[in-house]
């Protein structure tokens, strides 16, 4: 009787459990599906972003150089003052000669040639003559970039199919360029100039060297300030400071500072470093100071959590053999926390590398056509260079904007790799 009563109830219990089991499995499947969907969406956005930047920017790394023999006509260059001569016109006439054309009396044709030749060729001639005045009267060969509009035609971004009055170059200029290319005077190659030159008003002469050097100098200032101060502050707060209302207040404030919009740090830097301490504006020093302020909370938070993750048994072990608190922290706890500290520090530096807004507040958004002359000289940095070029009207700057973003991303990837490698190295040591 009892058996008969038990068996059906046991069966029904199993049925209830199984019915619920299906629901439970379905729930898990659903959650996994959402997770996969989220990953797919995130990856496709990343692919779109990278794809767009690369397709827009890769053409910057190809450039078109023209090589022409130029006769340095002694009648047109004053030996006493070689700077006064119109070298661009000499280049234009040489190119016209190469094309088998002669200039008309109004200089219309040479003017049109100058629209497709970079004035860099003229600068090169001037430099040659200055260094060696004996060249006057002789024929020299110069190689330099074509104007960015001409390069865009070669890159098929300015198309002949477009009606003539809607494009920057007319049919005659396009014909000339085809002819120059066919004759071998114009050659294409890797654009080393983009990496070895600094900003310029002419897109074909603009490069990112000044911005790269500016960024590195600024990061050096940021790193030397933010990392030691941040790590030591975190160590004091975590290991030495008494735990009371005041330290709680400080902790809350540090966490809040990490969330303060970066442009506010720019305002602070403007008020404190530039207006009050008279640090030269637009310099790597002031930029580094501002970014150091901005990075400090992140470094402190990362260090504190790395210190918290060190097991208390290590502290007890060190204290137990009679180490002082300072010895305990600096011999054992901090070295063990180092991988976490380094990762946090490098990630906050990578963040600082990409920061633009606070730098706009301290005057870094300026045209700097060279490498900074030291930590107090005028400088520009990569993200600001991107910002400046994005605002430029010439079409040639558009591809350069994307190319500068590629350079910036390469730097980010290098820094993140460094973070991973450092972490691995330190972890192996322990």
Partner 1 sequence: MAHDTATAPVHIAVDRGHAALPNAPIKIRARDVNVFYGEKQALFDVSLDVPENSVTALIGPSGCGKSTFLRSINRMNDTVAGCKVTGRIELDGEDVNDRSIDPVVLRARVGMVFQKPNPFPKTIFENVAYGPRIHGIASGKAELEAIVESSLKRAGLWTEVADRLHQPGTGLSGGQQQRLVIARAIAVSPEVILMDEPCSALDPIATARIEELIDELRNQYCIVIVTHSMAQAARVSQKTAFFHLGKLVEAGPTGEIFTNPRDSRTQDYITGRFG
243 near partner 1, rule: CB under 8 A:
yes
323 near partner 1, rule: CB under 8 A:
yes
Q: Considering only 145-153, 165-173, 322-330, 376-384, which stretch makes contact with partner 1 by CB under 8 A?
A: 322-330
425 near partner 1, rule: CB under 8 A:
no
CA distance 261 to 280: 24
Q: Considering only 171-179, 209-217, 286-294, 307-315, which stretch makes contact with partner 1 by CB under 8 A?
A: 307-315
Looking at the Cβ atoms of 137 and 311, the one nearer to partner 1 is: 311
313 near partner 1, rule: CB under 8 A:
yes
86 near partner 1, rule: CB under 8 A:
no
Looking at the Cβ atoms of 158 and 314, the one nearer to partner 1 is: 314
Structure tokens at 40: 């797919």
Distance of CA 97 to the CA centre of its chain: 43
Looking at the Cβ atoms of 284 and 339, the one nearer to partner 1 is: 339
Q: How far is the CB of 327 from partner 1 (least distance, A)?
A: 6
Q: How far is the CB of 219 from partner 1 (least distance, A)?
A: 32
| Residues in 328-387 that interact with partner 1 by CB under 8 A | 331-332, 336
Among 164, 248, 316, 373, binds partner 1 (CB under 8 A): 316
Looking at the Cβ atoms of 224 and 327, the one nearer to partner 1 is: 327
Q: How far is the CB of 333 from partner 1 (least distance, A)?
A: 11
106 near partner 1, rule: CB under 8 A:
no
Looking at the Cβ atoms of 155 and 315, the one nearer to partner 1 is: 315
Q: Considering only 65-73, 162-170, 314-322, 341-349, which stretch makes contact with partner 1 by CB under 8 A?
A: 314-322
Among 46, 50, 317, 413, binds partner 1 (CB under 8 A): 317
322 near partner 1, rule: CB under 8 A:
yes
155 near partner 1, rule: CB under 8 A:
no
319 near partner 1, rule: CB under 8 A:
yes
Only one residue has tokens 């922290």, namely 329
Among 72, 146, 290, 318, binds partner 1 (CB under 8 A): 318
Looking at the Cβ atoms of 100 and 322, the one nearer to partner 1 is: 322
Q: Quick one: three-class SS letters along the chain? A: CHHHHHHHHHHHHHHHHHHHHHHHHHHHHHHHHHHHHHHHHHHHHHHHHHHHHHHHHHHHHEEEEEEEEEECCCCCCCCCCHHHCCHHHHHHHHHHHHHCCCCCCCCHHHHHHHCCECCHHHHHHHHHHHHCHHHCCCEEEEEEEECHHHHHHHCCCCCCCCCHHHCCCCHHHHHHHHHHHHHCCEEEEECCHHHHCCCCCCHHHCCCHHHHHHHHHHHHHHHHHHHHHHHHHHHHHHHHCCCCHHHHHHHHHHHHHCCCCHHHHHHHHHHHHHHHCCCCCCCHHHHHHHHHHHHHHHHHHHHHHHHHCCCHHHHHHHHHCCCCHHHHHHHHHHHHHHHHHHHHHHHHHHHHHCCCHHHHHCCCCCCCCCCCCCCCCCCCCHHHHHHHHHHCCCCHHHHHHHHHHHHHHHHHHHHHHHHHHHHHHHHHHC
Q: Considering only 183-191, 221-229, 318-326, 407-415, which stretch makes contact with partner 1 by CB under 8 A?
A: 318-326
Q: How far is the CB of 319 from partner 1 (least distance, A)?
A: 6
Q: How far is the CB of 324 from partner 1 (least distance, A)?
A: 5
Looking at the Cβ atoms of 155 and 331, the one nearer to partner 1 is: 331
Q: Considering only 106-114, 255-263, 282-290, 315-323, which stretch makes contact with partner 1 by CB under 8 A?
A: 315-323
Distance of CA 150 to the CA centre of its chain: 27
128: nearest Cα among 118, 120, 146, 140: 140
CA distance 403 to 190: 13
Looking at the Cβ atoms of 23 and 429, the one nearer to partner 1 is: 429
Site string for partner 1, 192-231 (x = CB under 8 A): ----------------------------------------
276 near partner 1, rule: CB under 8 A:
no
CB 132 within 8 A of CB 79: no
> How deeply is 300 buried, as exposed, middle or buried, from its count of CB atoms within 10 A (0-12, 13-18, 19+)?
buried
Chain positions contacting partner 1, by CB under 8 A: 242-243, 311, 313-324, 327, 331-332, 336, 430
């Amino acid at each position: 009787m009892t058996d008969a009563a038990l068996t059906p109830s046991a069966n029904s219990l199993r049925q209830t459990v199984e019915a619920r089991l299906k629901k439970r499995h379905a729930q898990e499947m659903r959650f996994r599906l959402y997770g996969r969907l989220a990953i797919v969406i995130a990856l496709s956005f990343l692919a779109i972003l990278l794809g767009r930047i690369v397709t827009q920017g890769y053409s910057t790394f190809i450039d078109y150089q023209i090589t022409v023999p130029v006769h340095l006509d002694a009648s047109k260059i004053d030996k006493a003052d070689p700077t006064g001569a119109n070298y661009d016109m000499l280049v234009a006439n040489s190119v016209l000669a190469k094309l088998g054309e002669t200039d008309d009396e109004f200089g219309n044709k040479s003017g049109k040639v100058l629209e497709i030749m970079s004035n860099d060729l003229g600068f090169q001639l001037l430099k040659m003559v200055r260094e060696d005045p004996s060249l006057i009267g002789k024929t020299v060969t110069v190689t330099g970039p074509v104007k960015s509009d001409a390069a865009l035609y070669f890159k098929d971004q300015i198309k002949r199919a477009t009606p003539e009055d809607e494009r920057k170059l007319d049919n005659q200029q396009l014909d000339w360029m085809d002819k120059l290319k066919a004759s071998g005077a114009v050659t294409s190659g890797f654009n080393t100039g983009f990496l070895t030159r600094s900003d310029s008003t002419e897109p074909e002469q603009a490069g990112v060297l000044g911005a790269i050097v500016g960024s590195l100098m600024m990061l050096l200032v940021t790193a030397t300030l933010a990392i030691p101060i941040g790590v030591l502050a975190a160590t004091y707060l975590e290991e030495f400071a008494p735990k009371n209302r005041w330290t709680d207040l400080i902790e809350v404030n540090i966490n809040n500072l990490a969330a303060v919009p970066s442009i506010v740090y720019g305002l602070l830097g403007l008020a404190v470093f530039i207006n009050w301490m008279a640090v030269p504006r637009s310099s790597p020093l002031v930029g580094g100071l501002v970014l150091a302020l901005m990075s400090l909370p992140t470094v402190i938070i990362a260090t504190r959590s790395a210190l918290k993750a060190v097991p208390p048994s290590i502290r007890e072990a060190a204290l137990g053999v009679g180490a002082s608190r300072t010895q305990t922290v600096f011999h054992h706890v901090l070295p063990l926390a180092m991988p976490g500290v380094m990762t946090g520090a490098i990630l906050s530096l990578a963040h600082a590398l990409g920061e633009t807004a606070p730098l706009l507040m301290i005057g870094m958004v300026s045209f700097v056509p060279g490498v900074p002359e030291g930590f107090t000289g005028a400088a520009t940095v990569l993200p600001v260079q991107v910002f400046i070029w994005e605002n430029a009207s010439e079409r040639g700057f558009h591809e350069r904007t994307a190319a500068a973003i590629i350079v910036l991303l390469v730097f980010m990837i290098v820094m993140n790799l460094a973070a991973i490698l450092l972490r691995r190295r330190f972890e192996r040591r322990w």
